[in-house]
Amino acid sequence: MTFDIAAILAVDGIASGAIYALVAIGTVLLFSVTRVMFVPFGDLAAFTALTLAALDDGKTPGTVNLVIALAVLAFAMEALALVRAGKMKMLPRAALFYLVIPIAVALAVRLLAPATPPLPVRLIMALALIVPVAPLLDRIVFRPVADAPVLVLLIIAVALHFALVGLGLLFFGPEGVRTQPLTSWSTEILGAMVSGQTVCIVIAAVALSALLYVGFEFTLTGKALRATSSNRTGARLMGVRPARAGTIAYVLSSILAGVSGLLIAPVNTIFYDSGFLIGLKAFVGAIIGGLHSYPGAAIGAVIVGLLESFASFASSSLKDVIVFSVLVPILVWRSLVSVHIEEEDEE
Amino acid sequence: MHRLAAVAVSALLVSAPAQAEIKLGFITALSGPAAALGIPYANGMKAARKYKAKIGNETVTLIQLDDGSDPAATTRNARKLVEEEKVDILIGTATAPGTIAMATIANELGVPMIAVSPIKIETADPAKQWTIAVPQPPMLMAKVVADRMKRDKVHNVGYIGFSDAWGDLVYAGGKAAEARGDIKLLTNERYARTDTSVTAQILRILATKPDGVLIGGSSTQAALPLLALADRGFKGHNYGLASLINPDFVRVGGKAAEGVQVSAGPVIVSEQLPDGHFSKKLSADFRAAYKEVNGSESRDGFSAYSFDAYLIFAGAAERALGKAKPGTLEFRKALRDEMLNTKELAGVHAVYNFKPGQGYGVDDRSLVIVKLKDGKWIYAP
């Protein structure tokens, strides 16, 4: 391996690693606030890419119908719960958040789609369409069992992933898509060509991680989310509503999934079922960070990306074997470390 | 099991109940992951029945079942077709594992079968051979491509393909050409359909300085290595097999896919074939029948496989009708013998010659080289 090749592989690895990092940060965010290991996270990223591709072609994306269906279902469940609890006064507010806003977004996209607006508008449309999906899924699937053990939530998330893959095939069809690059600009760093797209991906990953860090450290909502993640009951006693914290976490992580979907769409062909592998590799990254540290997850994800890139050069058919084998020693190390923390908690 | 497309019985049969009918059991995947192939197979069968509704004086009753791309369902359906519906012949299905399962049932119950997916056919004991296959075997596809590489003076070839059975088959085809001394394969790089990047594999291929690259992928994701090659400024020739022919491959590959040469059945470029080519007139008839029953243009090779399967069946059944009455064991045997006695039967993909002990009946005439130019496949003799 020459230096040139190593540089090209490093750039390629960092680009995929930055995408995994966005998904990994979202996974950690959701896991710490809601205790849900949100397996379909990668699917949301893939759906964003497929939505953008449909918008590029001036077609109405399948996500429009998905959002409308989910909104109706979520509102029906919320309304039923409110009526049963005798809180009729809350109904208009629930209707606004669960029914009116998502459907308005979906209809707006549907009206605008045939006109093929300029690229920045299409990016916002795709993102706006994907953001309601996770919070609505949370209301339908996870809210009724919010206090279930982590394992139950994980199994439900796995089932949800399979349901979403099936819906993806129904809405987007079996063929893959690839969108136009956001920019055709490119530069040379250390003898390796770096495309503008790669630069965009890295900047977005760094900027969003920094924003999250600032948000969690210095704002009241961020502190409420952190409180919920460290102790649900304690946060409740202090006046933080876990359900609301959960919704905020879902919206934030939807944005992360959406952005990674928009960024990955021009660099790789995305299929309805591409999301799982992205989510899985991000998960490995998140595990390296111990599932609670955002910088740890981001660094872990970049390590996975680099490892993957060099592993495909070493032996392309054993690439995934190498990447996932790395998980074993990390899990051993992590389990040794985390037992120690739990003991401290019990004291 | 689902019975999506119900039994289609010709009106003629109702008016002439005294006549015997030939029952054709057809299994395809109308749902599940293989539906993208299974639906064209079903459309091709519809076109074939439009093209030739009667065999001799007999009507053909088609019983079509959906296996949902699941080999276990294929097995159940095949058994049901033979034991309950008493079909005279089986044709199917969209997945290779399903087709293998179906052939096992056909051999066990003694029913002739025509496979529309490329599978290995058991021919150790010719007396027990009930199955033949229509498609061009991958080895032949690779041979025709290797012949073209030789003509293009492309000797050193890099290989990149899927990390699955298809990738292995194409690689084996390339290796066979290497054994004949036509080309030299320099690499055996693999990638998965869901991979995000093949940059590393392409770097390895380019390090060997190949004259050309052979792609062992299929449909949309076969474009991924081509895009990575174009990114690295590769100027050599690119080759592939018929699995690249797909509108989404052209759309995703864009400029990077321009100039790629693949071996494919002549039906793909039938309009561009010279007059007098066996496939030209027949393909035009097939396209017309297809458009009439399905309301859309046929641009894929899969629907043409079911069309050819039906033609082979019709030819054999015509001859077998002289020997026995449909619905009997004797007829099934006669049909099998006549199927294996098919000589110089022109289809839209190939000229078929079957004989006992051979599962495939195609030769070099079944494949032409087509080249992608300005987003269209052009016949490149």
- Residues in chain B with CB shorter than 8 Å from the CB of A320 are 192
Q: Is A323 on the interface with B (CB under 8 A)?
A: no
> What per-residue confidence (pLDDT) applies to B17?
41
Q: How far is CA A56 from the centre of its chain?
A: 22
Write out pLDDT tens, residues B175-214: 999 999 889 999 999 998 777 788 889 999 998 999 999 9
Summary mean pLDDT of chain B = 88
Average pLDDT, chain A: 86
B133-174: pLDDT as tens digits: 999 988 899 999 999 999 999 999 999 998 888 888 899 999
Nearest CA in chain A to B204: A313
How do residues B220-273 score in pLDDT, each as one tens digit?
888 889 999 998 889 889 999 988 888 888 888 888 899 999 999 999 898 899
**What residues in A contact B36, CB-CB < 8 Å?**
174-175
- For β-strands B54-55 and B58-66, DSSP reports them as antiparallel
Low-confidence ranges of chain A (pLDDT < 70): 190-192, 338-347
B 226-285 → A contacts, CB under 8 A: 231, 246, 248, 252
Which tokens go with A58?
């001036």
**Contact indicator for A270, A19 with CB cutoff of 8 Å:** no
Task: Report yes or no: B33 at the A interface, CB cutoff 8 Å.
Answer: yes
Residue B357 pLDDT more than 50? yes
Closest residue in A to B194 (Cα–Cα) = A274
**Residue B194 in contact with partner chain A when CB distance is under 8 A:** yes
pLDDT of residue A130: 93
Rounded to two decimals, the pTM is: 0.76
Best mutation target among A59, A280, A317 (most B Cβ atoms within 10 Å) is A317
B12 band by pLDDT with thresholds 50, 70 and 90: very low
Kindly write down the DSSP assignment for every residue of B215-282, as one continuous string. EE--GGGGHHHHHHHHHTT--SEEEE-GGG--HHHHHHHGGGGTT-EEEE-GGGGGGGSPTT-HHHHH
Q: Tell me whether residues A313 and B163 touch, CB distance under 8 A.
A: no
Q: Smallest CA–CA separation between A313 and chain B, in Å?
A: 5
CA distance B114 to A193: 52
Q: Does B35 touch chain A (CB under 8 A)?
A: yes
Residue A267: the pLDDT is: 81
CATH 3.40.50.720 fits B138-264, yes or no: no
| Min Cα separation B171/chain A (Å) | 13
- Structural domain spans, chain B: 11-136+279-364, 138-264
The C-alpha of A274 sits at a distance from chain B's nearest C-alpha, in angstroms, of 5
Q: Is A260 on the interface with B (CB under 8 A)?
A: no
Does ipTM surpass 0.85 in this model? no
Q: B31 — contact with chain A (CB < 8 Å)?
A: no
| CA atoms of B280 and A177, how far apart (whole Å) | 33
Q: What is the pLDDT of residue A24?
A: 92
- Span A166-196, pLDDT tens digits: 888 888 887 788 888 777 777 777 666 778 8
pLDDT of B19: 54
Are the CB atoms for B87 and B109 separated by under 8 Å? Answer: no
Report the residue from B192, B204, B246 with minimal CB separation from A313. Answer: B204
pLDDT (tens digit per residue) in B60-88: 999 999 998 889 999 999 999 999 999 99
Burial level of B1, CB count in 10 A (0-12/13-18/19+)? middle
Residue A269: predicted pLDDT: 82
Are B106 and B78 within 8 A, CB to CB? yes
Distance from CA of B157 to the nearest CA of A (A): 18
pLDDT score, position B260? 94
List the single best residue of B196, B221, B224, B248 to mutate versus A (max A Cβ within 10 A): B196
- For chain A, the helix, strand and coil percentages under 3-state DSSP, each to the nearest 5: 80, 5, 20
Q: What is the rounded CA–CA span in Å between residue B41 and residue B28?
A: 7
Once rounded to an integer, what is the mean pLDDT over residues B289-293?
A: 93
Of all residues in chain B, what percent carry a pLDDT higher than 90?
Answer: 57
Top CATH class, B11-136+279-364: alpha beta
Which of chain B's residues have a Cβ under 8 Å away from the Cβ of A309? 197, 199-200
- CA A143 from chain centre, in angstroms, equals 19
Q: Number of A:B CB contacts under 8 A?
A: 80
Residue B10: which pLDDT band, with cuts at 50, 70 and 90? very low
Residue in B with minimal Cα distance to A279:
B194
Tell me if domain B11-136+279-364 and domain B138-264 are identical in fold: yes
- Do A41 and B235 touch, CB atoms closer than 8 A? no
Does position B15 have pLDDT exceeding 80, yes or no?
no
Alpha-carbon distance values, B199 to A13, A44, A203, A292, B244 (Å): 10, 25, 21, 32, 20
Q: Give the residue on B whose Cα is nearest the Cα of A318.
A: B190
Of A7, A35, A5, A20, which Cα lies nearest the Cα of A267?
A20
DSSP sequence for B284-311: HHHHHHHHHHHSS----SHHHHHHHHHH
Which residues fall within 8 angstroms of residue A176, CB to CB, at 6 or more apart? A269, A270, A271, A274, B220, B221, B248, B252
Whether residue A174 and residue B192 make contact (CB cut-off 8 A), yes or no, is: no
How many other C-beta atoms are found inside a 10 Å radius of the C-beta of residue B258? Answer: 16
**Three-class secondary structure of residue B367 per DSSP:** coil
Q: Do A268 and B197 touch (CB under 8 A)?
A: yes
Interatomic CA distance for residues B89 and B24, integer angstroms = 5
Is A18 within 8 Å of chain B by CB? Answer: no
Q: Which of A264, A308, A313, A316 to mutate to test the interface with B (most CBs of B within 10 A)?
A: A316
Is the Cβ of B192 closer than 8 Å to some Cβ of chain A? yes
Taking residues B370-374, report their average pLDDT: 92
